Structure formats: structure tokens, C-alpha cells
Structure 1
Amino acid sequence: MNSIENVSRRGFLKVAGISSSAFVLGMSLPITSSQAKSSASAVNHELNFFVSIANDSMVTLVCHRSEMGQGIRTSVPQIIAEELEADWQKVTVVQAKADAKYGSQGTAGSASIRNHFTSIRQIGAVARDMLEQAAANIWQVQKNAVKAQKHFVVHNATGEKISFGELASHAAKLTTPDSKTIKLKANSDFSLIGKDVKLIDLDDIVAGKAQYAQDIQLPDMLIATIVRPPVVGGKVVSFDASEALKVKGVVDVIALKPRSIPVGINPLGGVAVLANNTWAALEGRKKLTIKWQLGDKQKHNSSEFSKQLVKKVQRKGEKVATKGDVYNHQYNENNTLEATYTVPYIHHAPMETPAATAVIHGKKCTIWAGTQNPQWAKGTVARELGLGEDEQDNIELNVTLMGGAFGRKSKADFIVEAVELAKTSKRPVKVIWSREDDIQHGYYHSISANYCKAELTEQSSADHWISRNAYPPIGWLWNPEAKVPSDNQLALGFGDIPFALNNLSIEKHAVDSFVRPGWVRSVACINNGFALGSFVDELAVKAKIPTRQMWLNLLGVDRHVDPNKNGFKYSNYNLDLTAHPIDTKRIKNLINLISDKAKVEQALPENQGWGISFLRSFGSFVAAATKVSVVNNKVTVLEMHTAVDCGIVVTPDRVKAQMEGAMVFGLSIALMGEISVKDGQVEQNNFHDYPVTRINQAPEMHVHIIESDKPPGGIGEPGVPPVAPSITNAIYHASKTRIRDLPVNKVFTV
């Protein structure tokens, strides 16, 4: 249950970073079962959002989520301001520090708005109600005789009005009403939600004034770079720092404590060079001589591992979901299709590499970092410092802007590195990761194989469908015995196939892990979406019908799909399946829209082709269409479209930007994205051998947003999964070459 409190007199202003205010409301949100596992979250009051109003009418809204370019520091306050009836020009936003009073601050899974849309609205509505009650008391009229409008409360009969600032101190004396009794605005009355507003951080970003983790400067601060074990689980046997210490500016060389498997979100260990400037720190580490004990993960070679995964998925696996009988059926070989799809290790490669600064004075530890999960990081640091739960207030974690993250910065390893070195050196330390560090020592999207088999029906649909996958599970980070994905991972575009199938078997395989797996933007939806989108296109080709029609045929009649009926424990991205259903009508609308907008069935010149695909993920529905040309063995992407149905849209420009970013991200994955591992070591080290999409590769892009009054879905991740299959499908239709193993540059020049 949500609870909203008048906290003006409870000392929370300092926590929120607000200097003064006459009226402050804080909201507590219910914690999820996963959050409850963290004692730092299981507090009595998880005050996630604040709204404060000063006597000068300025409204300060506190955003407890982290900004990494997705616009959450704009959209969350925009929702509150909508219900508050605030003038957006008189609204400022404060970034929350890591604090248990905010409950979960994790900014991941495209969850910030889809999970809390109503709750966020309620705090604005309660504040509005209290301001209206304060005005009614002053005028000595019933509350229904007044109405909040654009930063004032207006007397309906006379037109007289009182500003929010004048009412703030009066509202602060009132008892907070039960949020369930406060009526929220009708969607038709929205004046901010659904409208584009100026990005909160835009001016500072454009002017170069925005502060990122790399920008932190403190007196007496040292810059640290670290040589980490080349193989996960490796340890330092010995090192020679004599030459490194001769580099001008190098102050010290420190061996980090060795770390064991399970690796969790802890550092990898290694040797750190601390210097007065970045150049010296980077030069000094080139001079280190280190002898390593690499451990048993050095036997790993990704090319051989991928072949092993392919062999695994050819065999029957452990049941995930079943319906009917696929194994006693006599398949017609002429109408049956089998295909196996592989995706390599993939890296996040954010433009801003990880960085964190820490300073320790006694038991007090202050940190500056770009982190997607401040509470998780803070708890990890507390354990590192040996602090008890009642001592975590000694840690102050300041959350900076992030220049991209995509899941990488939910891990706290780089933050713990800064804390460890600050403690050892007894000086402020900023740990910086070079591009090479980031690519060679990150957390990676798991290498994977997906197998699909189905038989075409007389109605140009398919049945007797088998799907299998095999990939290292993220759970291995904490449990070395974990060999299969969790149900939550299997729910990502695999166990929730929306097709009208009478006979279905969805299966998983157990595999070992060798590098750190992590959440890369849209997680397992990348490989599951690639397989599903590609296989539907292949079925369409075999049936000699347009791909659009195959999607429509497979989806069947309009209905809400419940994967639980097939024996699968479906998490639905932690959303209520009734409020956020798998709605085949919405899917078909998108398939038709993207096909019509892109004109995918119009005749094209020779060597050109369109490809389409779709995946529902994180509560939203997204279809993609891509046109390519294939000439002289070179693929050129000519045009891309994305259509998105994400329910109520808060900030359309942010949705458009996220979809455009997803197309670029998907292009990188499809065309060039591959991390290869040889003898346990990542072979790539910079953008020359792990390239991302360049301007000359980025085509004309179009985003089509469906108007909807449905509850909001996620938006940061859902745009990615359908992009890669739309590209490879287009390549097939342009060249008749089917790409089943990403990336495309294994076969074509890109």
C-alpha cells in the first residue's frame, strides 16, 4: 500500500537536498519481494518522491531515479507536476542521493514509470488537494468551490486566486488525506502528460556544465587506473612496480585484494596505479610487470563454446512450457522448418566509461558515481567497509549524470574499487576506466543459441512448435552452480510466445559460465527476439506468403495470452497480467501499422529488400521495419522504422529518442556486435575492433507512436529486440542469404 506523508517538520529537507521549503510531501511505495531481500530497502518509510513548495511558489521535485539519457529526471517530475497543476516554468528538480528512505532506487528494466505511474501521480494529486483545502479554509468555502490551476488555486465563483507559495505554509499544517480518496485527473484533462517539455538537464548538457562521474575534482585527489586479471577468477601472483613509479606524477602502486568466484558485483582485483593526473596513471600502468595465476576459466574459447551451444539445442531440453504433443507427431518434412540462431557475447559500450570517486574520513565515506542502482551500490560498499546496517548512514553516495549505461552501471564493481583504494591510500581517489578496460573487463550479454522447429498448416500458419535455448545465466554471478536461466530470464521473449498454437514445447539447456554475464539493454530479449523474428520470416518464405500475413496468421484471433496456462511461471516483467496483458490485437495493429508506414510490400529495385519483426517486452509492444541493399557483398541499411505501443506516453520526444537510440543500438548488435574470447581473455579492446554504428551507417529513421490510454509500459529497452531480425530478414529478401549467426559482418561487408 502507498502512503503519503507531510514531512515538512521531519528533517527530510536535508536528505532531499532542498535548502528550505514551507511544504513538503513524501511518498512511501511498497517494496517488491526482490527489494525486500535487501535490508537497506526494508525500512518503515521508503520515501521515494518528494514535492516541496517554497514561499516564493517555486516547486522542487525530487527524482529518486538515475538519469542516463533516457529523460527520467524530466518525465517523473512531469507526472507529478501534471497532477499538482504546477507551472512547469516554476518547477526545479533535485537528484536524490542514495538513501534507504527512497526504497529501491534501481533504474533498470524500463521500470521507473511503468511500475509507479499511478503512485507518482498520487503524490502530485495529494499536494494539489491540500493546497485546495488550504485555500478553501482561507476563503471559508467548501473545497469543491475552488480549483488548482497553473500554480494558483482559484475561487470558482469570483475568479479570485491565491498562489501556491502563499498557500504553502497553510497546507503544511493540514493532515495529509488518504491518497486513495483523491481523484486523479481524467486523461483528457492532461496538459503536461503527453506533451513535450524541455529536458531538465538540457541547458547544462549543451553548455558542457553537466557533471558526470568523470568530471569530479577534489582537493588532494589521486587518479587511479587498474590492471585487472585478464581472465575472470584470475589473481596476482607477483608484480614489479619499479618502472611505473619512475613515471612523473605516479604516487603509488597498490595491489587490490584478491576476489573469488562467485564474482557478484565486486571488483575483479588486480594492481592499481595512483597518480596526480590521468596521463601519469595510464602511462604508469604500461610499465607494470605482473605475473598472473589465471585459474580454470582460461580454457574458454567462445567460438568453440558457440558450437557446443548449437549442439545442445539440437537435443531435447528441460521443459519450460508445454501444450499438446510435439514429440509423437509425424512431421511432414516438406512443410517442416528447423533453424538454429546464435548471438555472440555483446558489450554495452556506453560512450562514458565507468568512473567513481571516493573519500574516507574515519567512518564517513563519500562517493560520487554514475550508478543505475544507488542503494545496491551503497549496500555493497557498506559490506566492503565492514559497516553494519545501522551504520550505513555513514556512506553518502551522490548520483551523477551518466553518459549512457544500458545496464552496465547497475553493477558497483568500479565504485568498490574507488572505495578500496581511498581506504588504502588515505586520500580521495577517482577510479577511471579506459575504453580498453571497459571492453575487456565488463559484464556481457551472454553468448547464446536458440533452436526453432515448426510445421506449416494448411491455413498458412504453423503448429507443433519447439523452441529451445542455451546460454550462461546471469544468476552465475552469485551462484557458481547456476547453469540455467531463471524463470524471469526465460520470460523475456521466450516462454511468452503469443501465437495460437495447439502443440508447443519450450525448453532450456544447462551450460557453464566463463565471463561475467550482465544485463545488456533488453537482456535475453536480444537473442530470443532475434530467433523468433527470424523464424517467423523463414516460415513466411516457406509458405510463400508475406511476412506480415504470417505474423497475423500465427497470432490468430484477438485475445489475451496467458503463458501460465502452458505450465510456465510467467513474471510479466513484474506487471499485473490483467492490467498489462499480452494482447494479440495490439500486436496485429502494430504489425499492420509498420508494414503500411514502411510500405514493405511495394516492389523494390533488384538487390533491395524490406524486413519486419516484432517483440513485446517490458510491458510495451514494438515492431521494426528495415530496408537494405546488398551490392557487391556489401550491406547498406537504407531506411528504418519503429512502431511502438507503450500505453500512455508521458514525454513523446523521449519515447522517440529512445526508439531512435534503440535502432542505433540494434544496428550495432546486428551488423558488428561481437565480443570473442580466446584462452579466457576478451580479444577486443576498443572501437576499432568492437565498433558501434557510425554516422555513415545510420540511415533515415522514422518512429511511429500509437496513441493509447492503456497503462504505461517500459520504453528504454523494448525498442532493441525487433531491430536485428528486421535487418537480417531484409538482407535475405535483398540477397537470398539468410543470416542465422550474428553479427552480419561475418558474411557481408557493412
Structure 2
Amino acid sequence: MSGGRRDKTGSRTGSKTGRLTRRAFLIGSVAVAGGVAFGVYQARQPHPNPLGGDRPDPAGADDDPAVTLNPYLVVDTDGVAIVTPRAEMGQGVHTTLAALVAEELDLPWESVRTLHGPAAAAYFNAAVLAAAVPYPSWDHGWLAEGLRDVAGVAGKLLGMQLTGGSTSTADAFVKMRKAGAAARSVLVQAAAARWGRDAASLRTDGGAVVDPGSGERLPYTTLAADAAAIEPPADPPLKPRSQWRLLGRSLPRVDMTAKCTGTAGFGIDVQLPGMRYATVLANPYPGGIRGGFDAGKTEDMPGVVQVVDLGPEHGDALAVVADNTWRAFQGAEALNIDWRPAADVTGDSAAMLDVIAASIDTQAPDATPRDDGDVEQALRIARAEAKPMVEAEYRAPFLAHTTLEPPAAVALREPERLTLWCGHQAPTLLRDLAAEQAGLDPEQVDVRVQFLGGGFGRRAEVDFALQAAAVAEAMPGTPVKLTWTREEDVRHDLYRPAAVARCTGVPGRDGLPETAVLEIASPSVMRSFAGRAGLPAMGPDKLITEGAAMQPYRIANYRVVGYAPSSPVPLGNWRSVGASFNGFFHECFLDELAAAGGQDPLAMRLALTRDYPFAQAVLETMRELAGWDRPLPTDDGRRRGRGLAMTHSFGSTVAQVVEVSDGTDGIRVERVHCVADVGLALDPAIIEAQMQSGIVYGLSAAIMEEITFKDGRVQQSNFHDYDALRLAQTPEIRVRILQSGEAPTGVGEPGTPPSKPALANAVFAATGKRIREYPLNKHVTFA
């Protein structure tokens, strides 16, 4: 695909990326679009191949629920294209997933093309449910592994194609390599049959099968049809790590050329013939009602085509359709609507946080995922002996996602079909809910996933795309692009919940903590999301305590309790979810315990992690990287301080040291040191970029971001009052990557949780101010 070429939908395609739909490839015939597909089949009842060409499972019964039938590779007349069925939202996932297949298939990297693939249960994510098992990721005992296997089976049965939870690479690590290895096997067999030679004597190189004896080469493109008729092996051998050519290296990203040249197709870029443009105006009061409206002024405006009442299922929102997006925005501003608040959302943010805090006293726990030792006995003794105790309450606000690309989707309703173009993290969920809304079967809904201009969990939600489908329903045969204004985006987000933690700790005689109790209250994100998605939400919500309960520290009496108060505010997944506030609570509290015990923060953590070699390695590496034992300079008259935090989340252990200075212009965040153990590093440059991104996202929230409510409505509306770090404020960031495992762990989210507490701890070190809530700019001034 050449740079900037338009496909048949009018969407721009990049130089190495494209879109794969079930219409485009009818795999199984010798050449429709010139292609055949290969997959790996390792489940009792594999999901149907969405590309066609299914075969019975050659392996028969198989007890491994983590690997299933997945067509990942297309060989066509243009060469080889790899299906990378996860949303590319800037994190580089298409590059790493493509490398998994290309490595086993001996493809030259410069020839690789990627295709997102259709919305299909065959691309389910098993790892995201396995990660929800209530055992720490380092626990590989029979019970923990057995539950992960069961969760993987549940993920298969659910069939949700999902990009989230920093699980994309972990989920694909084996299955996509096996897809490449299986394809290689049948290609070699096809060449052996054509030449009349022993397959074991042949090898592959540069996208071709090679006979070392004669030097003859047969490109994969010429063997594809023959290979499609050969049964692939059930469990093909994989290359040992010592033979990897692509994995473990920093590769040129497959999406970079298109994004640098402006030819990448995001959801907001889709253009179709005869298109109309829409926006929505919804109630600024969460859960509120509409008393009435007058659209007369809007309908008389130039370019306005129609005003569509989206009805109660879309919160009584109104859509304005026009001949361009700007006129739709102007028409929405002219609507006269009687918005009324909900009865249960009448307070302000402080009152909401007080209600959350009160749940610790008034509700039964949702879960107690960590309860080591005898906390009650330890606290009784501490009080009886008048031991020094640390008691603290921490608070975290509601937060918005503010993806750079605002919510946008294109919809086309035809008599027996609905097509949606948008960037989305859960295309099968969107397909099914859109089908239900439109009165169609899921097979009649085609979701074409585009590049995402940021996701962070926001684009796992379906609200904006279902609104586009509803507008298209009112205008059959006409493609409609619906784009939210930034004001609608900020005021109608599915917010990161506010949270409160009450912490009690007792330093022992050696200065190390002997007792630590964290009681954490936060409304349940998973129950809120599951309710909107029509999914079951059974049992405790692990996310409420994630980033606090399963940490690699050993304290004699150590308890973490979660409470799940209800919330009238709509909630959603936000980058690192519960760990985004629990990292702050847990690591700030550990620093308070270090200070109370007269301990160096790093030395204390090293003492508490003696049972966890991987955490020790992270901390020791941080000691060297940050120069922890060297004093900071003081020759310019500014007060300086370092702050340390370490959080284990999404299978990865990440420590950060933030350095700040304080002067007459305020506090400057000067540099951040980051050490990340990611299990197995498949692409170091992408991992480093993701750590940097997570740090900037976390520091933005720590310093300045907060969603507040007054009289039941959100007060913020755009970047002027919900800002993020600008380039001039962004510190130097240094990243060191460690590898302690045989498989990759998460990288998209683990960089965010330690950033906030590391900054707060640095502010304390520089100024002596202990801040127990963020944003920190409510208490100190930043330069």
C-alpha cells in the first residue's frame, strides 16, 4: 500500500498498514484479493475463523485454554500481511504483534504489512481475565495457575476482542508465534512437494523457502495456495530465544511513516461520499433529565440538515446534523434545552469524597485481598505500649481521559446492514451492542477499527459510537460522521473514580514497619462498566485495591481492605485503573513510615523486599541509575529533593525516582529515573516510550488535573481548566529496562502508578510538606 492512498471507503491508509474486513478477504479460495490465511488451532471448539477457510481442529482435545484458533497471517499477491487484532492507539502494539509472527516465519521486517482484522470472537483476549485472578502475578503455584487457566477459558467463551489491561502482548506471545510457526511448516511442506524433496532439508529465509543444496528459492506468495491445502501442525515448535532476529530488538514501527506523513487513518479522518456531519449535546448533569427543548433557531441555521432526538437510551441527548462539522457545532450551541439535574447528584466534589470516606465506617468490606499476621493484636499492643503510630488519610479526585482525538465515529445504515468506522478498544462489544440497538444480528454489523488518537480506557466505551449509529438510523443510506466537542468530552466522560484511603502503621524497634493497614474506598469501575456493557460483574472488584494489596513487600502485620460505595457519577477504566490512586496511597504511606522509623526510603524498601529478588533488582538498579547515595546540588540556592516509589502492576515492577527543586518561581520537576522489570522485553524502544508516556500521564494528574462537581454538574470543560503537562514542564526522563521472566508483562500502564507518589515524596524531601491528596497544585506552586 503506497503512502496516502485511499481505500474503497475513502479512508486514508498508511504505507505499511491497512484495514482487513470479512468482505475484503474470503480466505480459503486460492485467491480472492490474492490471499490465503494461516492460523493455529488449539482449543476443543475453536471460534469460527472470521476470514473463512476453517478446518476441524487437528489437535483434537487440548487442555491448554490459552491458545486457540486464530488466523493471523495473510499471504496475497502483494506479499505477506499480518493480522494484529488489537487497537493501535500510539502504544506500538501493531509493531510488536507483527514481530511475533514475522520472527517465526523468517520474514524481512521491511516487507511486513499489518491489518487490524474484523471484530471477531476468534481474537478474544484471554489474558485480561487471567490477570483478574486474586493472586499476585509472581505466584505460579498450582492454585493460582489453575485459576488463570479457568479464567482463560472464560475469556474464550466470552469471546471479547479487547485491547486493555496491558495484556495485548502477553496474550499474543505464544499464540501469534505459533501461528507464524504453523504457517512456516505448511509453506515448507508445500515447497518440498513441489520440488520432490525432504522437507527437513529445507529452510526459510527472507520470505521464501530455500533449498540449501541447490540454492533454489520459492517465495511464500507462490506457495500460498498449495500450503492452504495442507493441515498445519497442532503444536509447532517455536524458535529458541537465542535464534531470534526481530524479537528483543528495537524495530522501526509499522505505523510511524503514516503518522509522520499525515496519511494514517484515524476514526475522525474517515470520509465517505455523500457524508453528513453531526455532533451531540447531552445533559451536563450526570443522570439528569430533559424538561423540553426548542430547536427552531438551530434548524434555521445555514448548513443544518436535521436535529435528531436520540431518546432516553442516550440520555435524552440531541444530535445536530449539518453539511460540515463546524456548522454542526454551531447548531448545537444554538439549541435551547431545559436540562434538569438528577435527584441524587446534587452535591459538590468534597461532599462526594466525604461519602466515599464514610463508607469505610458504614459498609462491609468488598474484599480483603491481603491480611498477613494479626493486625488487631499488633495494634492493641502498640496502643497499650504507646508505640509511635502513623495515621493518615489520603484522597484522590475524579479524573477525565482527555484523549487527543475526541470521541468520533462514522456510521452507515443500510437496509440489512450497519457499518461503523471508529477507533475502538473493544470492537466485538461494540458490534454486539450496536446490533441490539439496531435490531440486527451481530453478523450484520461491520466494525472497521481505525487508528485511535489515544485510548487510555475511554475507547473501550461504546457511547459515542452508538450515538453515531442512532443518528444513521434516522438517515438511512447516508453516512454520518459524529464528532464530540471537547466540552462534551470533558463533561460526559466515564471518569476515573475518586478514592479515599485510611492508613495506620507502626514502626518496629529496628525502624522497619511491623504493622501496616490500608483501608481503601472507591466506587467500583468494573461494576459500572459491566452494567453498561451488559456483562456479568460477579464477586469483589480487584481493581479497588490493585496497586496496594499485591505488592512485593513483607510486613509482619499487613492488611489491605477494599470498600465499594455506590456513586452517581459514571465511571470508567482510566490508565492503570485502581493502581492509579493506590500507587499514590501505598507508596506515600510507606514513605511516612520510613520517616517515622528514621529509615532511608530506599534502604527500607530493600529490607521489606528480601523475599522478592525481582523487586530487589529493580531497587538496586534504581540506586545506581538515580545516584541515590549522592547528594543533590545546592549551588544555585534552590532546595532540592528526591522521591522514590515502586508499584507492581499488570505483572511488571516499576520504580521511579523524581527529582525536584524549589525556588521563588515554585517547584520544578527536573528529572525522572525509571526502572522497569517487564518480564521479557520484546521491543526496548517501545517499552521505553510507554514508560515515558505513562510518567507524563501520571505527573499531569499529580500536578494539576481534577474533575470537580458543583450543584451536580462537572465544572471543567476544556484544556484551559483541565490541563496536562506542556513540553516546557516535562522533565528529563531516563528509563532502564530489566528482564526477570520468560514472557512479557504489561508496559502500557505500569509507568503511571509510581509517578504520583514519587513526586509527592520528592516535594516532601525538598520542602518538608507532606501532601496527602492530589492534584498537588492545591497545596504548592509549580513553576
User: What range describes the TM-score normalised by the shorter chain of this pair?
Assistant: 0.7 to 0.9
Contact 2:545 2:582 in 1 (8 A): no
2:253 to 199, 204, 207: 199
CA distance in 2, matches of 1:460, 1:108: 40
What amino acid sits opposite 2:751 in the alignment?
Answer: G
2:111 corresponds to: 90
Contact 1:483 1:512 in 2 (8 A): no
CA distance in 1, matches of 2:263, 2:363: 57
Contact 1:640 1:700 in 2 (8 A): yes
Q: Residue 574 of structure 2 aligns to a residue in which SS?
A: coil
2:736 corresponds to: 704
Q: Does 1:586 align with 2:639?
A: no
CA distance in 2, matches of 1:168, 1:737: 67
Would the alpha carbon gap of residues 92 and 492 (structure 1) be closer, same or farther in structure 2, given more than 3 Å must change?
A: same
Structure 1 residues 426-435 or 11-20, which shifts more? Answer: 11-20
* 1:103-122 matched pairs, under 5 angstroms: 103=124, 104-122=160-178
Contact 1:250 1:281 in 2 (8 A): yes
CA distance in 2, matches of 1:735, 1:314: 33
1:358 corresponds to: 411
CA distance in 2, matches of 1:745, 1:21: 59
2:697 corresponds to: 665
Structure 1 residues 139-148 or 719-728, which shifts more? Answer: 139-148
Structure 1 residues 331-340 or 287-296, which shifts more? Answer: 331-340
1:653 to 672, 685, 689: 685
Q: Residue 624 of structure 1 aligns to a residue in which SS?
A: strand
Would the alpha carbon gap of residues 73 and 473 (structure 1) be closer, same or farther in structure 2, given more than 3 Å must change?
A: same
After TM superposition, give the deviation of residue 286 of structure 1 in Å.
1.4
Structure 1 residues 349-358 or 18-27, which shifts more? Answer: 18-27
CA distance in 1, matches of 2:555, 2:340: 52
1:183 corresponds to: 237
TM-score by length of 2: 0.84
1:348 to 391, 397, 401: 401
Structure 1 residues 283-292 or 168-177, which shifts more? Answer: 168-177
Contact 1:471 1:511 in 2 (8 A): yes
2:482 corresponds to: 431
2:643 corresponds to: 611
Would the alpha carbon gap of residues 65 and 515 (structure 1) be closer, same or farther in structure 2, given more than 3 Å must change?
A: same
Q: Which runs of 5+ in 1 are unaligned?
A: 1-9, 37-42, 260-266, 559-583
2:33 corresponds to: 20
1:307 corresponds to: 354
Q: How many residues align?
A: 694
Q: Residue 116 of structure 1 aligns to a residue in which SS?
A: helix
Q: Does 1:450 align with 2:527?
A: no
1:441 to 488, 492, 502: 492
Q: Does 1:77 align with 2:98?
A: yes
Q: Residue 591 of structure 1 aligns to a residue in which SS?
A: helix
Percent of counterpart pairs with the same letter? Answer: 31
* 1:318-397 matched pairs, under 5 angstroms: 318=365, 320=368, 321-328=370-377, 329-331=380-382, 333-387=386-440, 391-397=441-447
Q: Does 1:53 align with 2:70?
A: no
Which whole-Å deviations, capped at 9, do the CAs of 1:124-158 have from their partners, x for residues lacking one? 11111222223333444433322222323233445
Which whole-Å deviations, capped at 9, do the CAs of 1:167-197 have from their partners, x for residues lacking one? 333322322111x2x2111111110001122
1:400 to 450, 459, 470: 450
What amino acid sits opposite 1:91 in the alignment?
Answer: V
CA distance in 2, matches of 1:738, 1:316: 29
Would the alpha carbon gap of residues 506 and 16 (structure 1) be closer, same or farther in structure 2, given more than 3 Å must change?
A: farther
Would the alpha carbon gap of residues 219 and 54 (structure 1) be closer, same or farther in structure 2, given more than 3 Å must change?
A: closer
What amino acid sits opposite 2:351 in the alignment?
Answer: E
Which whole-Å deviations, capped at 9, do the CAs of 1:640-662 have from their partners, x for residues lacking one? 12111112222221111101101
Contact 2:40 2:182 in 1 (8 A): no
After TM superposition, give the deviation of residue 519 of structure 1 in Å.
0.3
After TM superposition, give the deviation of residue 726 of structure 1 in Å.
0.6
Q: Residue 566 of structure 2 aligns to a residue in which SS?
A: coil
2:574 corresponds to: 520
2:203 corresponds to: 147
Q: Residue 327 of structure 1 aligns to a residue in which SS?
A: helix
Q: Residue 515 of structure 2 aligns to a residue in which SS?
A: strand
Which whole-Å deviations, capped at 9, do the CAs of 1:668-696 have from their partners, x for residues lacking one? 01101110011221100011110011011
Q: Residue 375 of structure 2 aligns to a residue in which SS?
A: coil
TM-score by length of 1: 0.88
After TM superposition, give the deviation of residue 705 of structure 1 in Å.
1.1
CA distance in 1, matches of 2:208, 2:319: 57
CA distance in 1, matches of 2:265, 2:109: 23
CA distance in 1, matches of 2:256, 2:172: 25
After TM superposition, give the deviation of residue 357 of structure 1 in Å.
0.9
2:298 corresponds to: 244
Contact 2:165 2:650 in 1 (8 A): yes
What amino acid sits opposite 2:590 in the alignment?
Answer: V
After TM superposition, give the deviation of residue 383 of structure 1 in Å.
1.0
Would the alpha carbon gap of residues 721 and 293 (structure 1) be closer, same or farther in structure 2, given more than 3 Å must change?
A: same
Contact 1:29 1:119 in 2 (8 A): no
Q: Which runs of 5+ in 2 are unaligned?
A: 1-21, 49-54, 58-67, 125-159
After TM superposition, give the deviation of residue 408 of structure 1 in Å.
0.2
2:658 corresponds to: 626
Would the alpha carbon gap of residues 376 and 652 (structure 1) be closer, same or farther in structure 2, given more than 3 Å must change?
A: same
Would the alpha carbon gap of residues 484 and 142 (structure 1) be closer, same or farther in structure 2, given more than 3 Å must change?
A: closer
What amino acid sits opposite 1:734 in the alignment?
Answer: A
CA distance in 2, matches of 1:484, 1:337: 35
CA distance in 2, matches of 1:344, 1:477: 19
CA distance in 1, matches of 2:266, 2:322: 21
Q: Does 1:222 align with 2:273?
A: no
2:709 corresponds to: 677
- How large is the Cα RMSD of the aligned pairs? 2.7
What amino acid sits opposite 1:78 in the alignment?
Answer: A
Contact 1:48 1:64 in 2 (8 A): no
Which whole-Å deviations, capped at 9, do the CAs of 1:292-322 have from their partners, x for residues lacking one? 2422233132112223334544789625142
Would the alpha carbon gap of residues 538 and 44 (structure 1) be closer, same or farther in structure 2, given more than 3 Å must change?
A: farther
After TM superposition, give the deviation of residue 614 of structure 1 in Å.
0.8
What amino acid sits opposite 1:602 in the alignment?
Answer: R
Q: Residue 465 of structure 2 aligns to a residue in which SS?
A: helix
Q: Residue 501 of structure 2 aligns to a residue in which SS?
A: strand
Contact 1:368 1:400 in 2 (8 A): yes
2:774 to 731, 742, 749: 742
Contact 2:521 2:544 in 1 (8 A): no
After TM superposition, give the deviation of residue 483 of structure 1 in Å.
12
Q: Does 1:281 align with 2:281?
A: no
After TM superposition, give the deviation of residue 551 of structure 1 in Å.
0.7
